[in-house]
């Protein structure tokens, strides 16, 4: 996995992607993935992410993560 990450970082640097943009995109995708795994349960997702539930809520709003993405139909 480390090699894949190194290659991805190299590609991003070559394309001129700024550090802040890369960090935001990674964080957004990481949060979306964990929310999908927890079926939209923000408390469980926050625990898995190692952040406070309120912090997760703010990040969901900041990154405009679609509420429909966060919850799967039962």
pTM comes to 0.81
Domains along the chain with CATH numbers: 18-70 (1.10.10.60)
Other CB atoms closer than 10 Å to residue 35's CB: what's the count? 25
Q: Reduced to 3 DSSP states, what percent helix, strand and coil does the chain have, rounded to the nearest 5?
A: 75, 0, 25
Unique residue bearing structure tokens 């926050």: 46
30: Cβ–Cβ under 8 A, 6 or more apart, which residues?
49
Cα separation of 7 and 43, whole Å? 34
What pLDDT does 34 receive? 95
Q: What is the pLDDT along the chain (74 residues), one digit of tens a residue?
A: 889 999 999 999 999 999 999 999 999 999 999 999 999 999 999 999 999 999 999 999 999 997 665 455 54
């Amino acid at each position: 996995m480390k090699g894949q990450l190194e290659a991805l970082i190299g590609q991003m640097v070559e394309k001129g992607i700024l550090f802040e943009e890369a960090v935001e995109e990674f964080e957004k995708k990481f949060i979306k993935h964990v929310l999908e795994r927890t079926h939209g349960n923000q408390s469980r997702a926050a625990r898995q992410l190692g952040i406070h539930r309120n912090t997760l809520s703010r990040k969901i709003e900041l990154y405009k993560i679609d509420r429909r993405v966060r919850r799967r139909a039962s």
